[in-house]
Amino acid sequence: EVQLVESGGGLVQPGGSLRLSCAASGFTFSSHWMHWVRQAPGKGLVWVSCINSDGSSTSYADSVKGRFTISTDNAKNTLYLQMNSLRTEDTAVYYCARGGIYSGSHSDYWGQGTLVTVSS
Amino acid sequence: DIVMTQSPDSLAVSLGERATINCKSSQSVLYSSDNKNYLAWYQQKPGQPPKLLIYWASTRESGVPDRFSGSGSGTDFTLTISSLQAEDVAVYYCQQYYSSYTFGQGTKLEIK
């Protein structure tokens, strides 16, 4: 059974940093693109970032480019999102989601999400 | 960037009736080399993560009831629920994955 479990969310002050993790199981993690998608309270889904299976290719939404870094540890089957210079508008539930084997694919499995609150 | 626009923003349908949600992309998401529309539909219920319903615009995900169907090509797409059930109350999102990734703003579906 495919499982994605996010962790690392919490309350952080503006300008602070946080690292999210997504532990994957039930599939060959090193074969799939992986995504981070966020959802501000009461708002819609916003794609944040993705990474390919060996970590050699990454992409970011303009709103987080230069502040967030996505990475993977295939030995630990874990996806990460390092978030620096956090702003109040980064407050959201952050979901990790499994993509396809190739780029340009839908996301078929999603984690339950972890809440990040940026506030003073 | 490709902008995805859904209509309507909210929809109330009687049980057993048809529900139709539209999604329009600002440019075509049909990839000519494989003739596939890079468009997915997701369902999100309160307090839950999104669930994949439809991909490649019209392919139903395994386990999704056949009352859900997707259609359209190029820039105009439709998600249809043929006979609304109480458990279908949710917010529905379209997503393009042709050029980066973009979601529509969501359509809230309720029971009339």
Contact A44 B103 (CB under 8 A): yes
What confidence score (pLDDT) does residue A53 get? 87
Condensed to tens digits (0 to 9), the pLDDT of residues B52-94 reads: 999 999 999 999 999 999 999 999 999 999 999 999 999 999 9
Q: Chain B: nearest CA to A47, how far in angstroms?
A: 6
- Dist. CA B20–CA B18, nearest whole Å: 7
Residues lower than pLDDT 70 in chain A: none
Burial class (CB in 10 A: 0-12, 13-18, 19+), A81: buried
| CB nearest B49 (choices: A44, A47, A110) | A110
CA dihedral A98, B27, B105, A120 (to 10 degrees): 70
| CB nearest B101 (choices: A47, A112, A113) | A47
- Dist. CA B108–CA B106, nearest whole Å: 7
Q: Looking at chain A, which residue has its C-alpha nearest residue B9?
A: A44
Residue type, B60: R
- Dist. CA A60–CA A36, nearest whole Å: 9
Positive/negative CA dihedral, A22, A25, A30, A32: negative
Chain A residues with CB under 8 Å of B106 CB are: 44-45
Q: With CA atoms as reference, report the closest residue to B94 among B55, B66, B60, B45.
A: B55
In angstroms, the Cα distances linking A75 to A28, A35, A99, A113, B108 are: 11, 18, 19, 22, 40
A45 near B CB under 8 A:
yes
Q: Chain B: nearest CA to A8, how far in angstroms?
A: 17
Condensed to tens digits (0 to 9), the pLDDT of residues A90-111 reads: 999 999 999 999 888 999 999 9
Condensed to tens digits (0 to 9), the pLDDT of residues B5-44 reads: 999 999 999 999 999 999 999 999 999 999 999 999 999 9
Residue type, A80: Y
Chain B residues with CB under 8 Å of A46 CB are: 103
